[in-house]
Structure 1
Amino acid sequence: MTWTPPSDGYTLSFRSRLEERFVEDADDMGWRFRQFAKYTRPMESKARYLSAWDEVFFDLNDTDFGQDFGLRQNRAFLGIGFFLDSEHSLAFEVGYLNQWLSRPGDDRMYHALSLNLLLTF
């Protein structure tokens, strides 16, 4: 489900996902909920915009393939977007992506350059 409430001068959008997860040679089915929130604001040039988003991954059950109930992952992005056409239906975003993963023993954190191509239709 995607929802974009009305706003003045910026865009705030939300997306919710409920996923079924299967692993070969395992008997259980894993359930995962993902919540995504994105903020964009035009810069001085209408062809560029600031983009920030966050997505959390929450496992809803324990499985025999190792999935455990709880918060499993978080992805946070901050960058700049560039519209590639006059209708603003094609955009390119570049920025910093922080990914945190909950793992048995030590959690992991990754820092990455993120390149995204977005098509709106």
Structure 2
Amino acid sequence: MNILRASLAVLSLMFAAQPALAETAHDEQAWVNLTLMGSLKGKVVYFAEVQPRFGDGVSRLDQLLLRPAIGVKLSPTMTLYQGYARVITKREGARDLREHRSFQQLSWVMGKPWGGEISTRTRLEQRWRADGDDVGHRLREMVRLEVPVASNGLAALGYAEGFLALNDTDWGARSGFDQLRSFIGAEIPVVGKTTIELGYLNQLVNQTGGRRRMNHVLSFSLFARL
């Protein structure tokens, strides 16, 4: 459990690193995540995500993410991925903001407490944005727990994911605490290995000038496992 303690320590440091902030803007949002995942050959695996996110009181499309990745299973419980993300952020009265990301991800199922599953996801991102020349580096650490609550496979689900910016950029990233996402909800079996994850996501985002944003998100995710 040493890596679990390390993951929790990283999350604690990310949260503690945020400055004392003066004002918080709130928004109600809805995020949809459609993910296809499976095996290609032997230990080679993949996933592909489409994520539209609706903001401004769920009145308009705020962001669209397209994120494929290919990986290799290092063991039955550990998988290493290399992926790419295309992020399009809508801006009123201005051109869409476009971002490219390369990322490396280590996913690890750590154990099966209470008949469920505890896992971690460590992701290192390299970010290029259209409004600057610098490459932003960011570390993301997630700890996730799911516990079955019914015989049909229904499970209670919760996770926390901290984001830590590793450098300053000319397009606005500042090193230190970037954001924290906290989720509570349910994992619902559908057909075969396909599941739905439905619940509440709280996103706390650090901004410049002593400001922060808190998004209250209805989160719906469909995972189709082939």
TM-score (norm 2): 0.50
In 1, distance between residues paired with 2:110 and 2:181? 22
Q: What percent of counterpart residues are identical?
A: 35
Alpha-carbon separation, structure 1, partners of 2:224 and 2:196: 9
Distance 1:41 1:70, change over 3 A: same
Of 129, 133, 139, the match for 1:23: 129
Shift of 1:26: 2.1
Q: Aligned Cα RMSD in Å?
A: 1.4
User: Is 1:55 aligned to 2:161, yes or no?
Assistant: yes
Name the residue aligned to 2:222: 117
Deviations 1:12-38 (A, max 9, x none): 011111110112252211100111111
Which protein, 1 or 2, shows the higher relative CO under an 8 Å CA cutoff with sep ≥ 6? Answer: 2
Alpha carbons of structure 1 residues 36 and 116: separation in structure 2 relative to 1, 3 Å: same
* CA apart distance, 1:42: 0.5
Matched residues in 1 for 2:131 and 2:218: separation? Answer: 35
Distance 1:49 1:93 in 2: 9
Higher strand share: 2
Would you identify which runs of 4 or more consecutive aligned residues in structure 1 move more than 3 Å?
Answer: none
User: Deviation at 1:74?
Assistant: 0.8
Structure 1 residues 20 and 45, CA gap change in structure 2 (3 angstroms): same
Residue-pair matches, total: 119
1:96 correspondence with 2:191: no
Which consecutive residues of structure 2, in runs of 5 or more, have no partner in the other structure?
A: 1-105
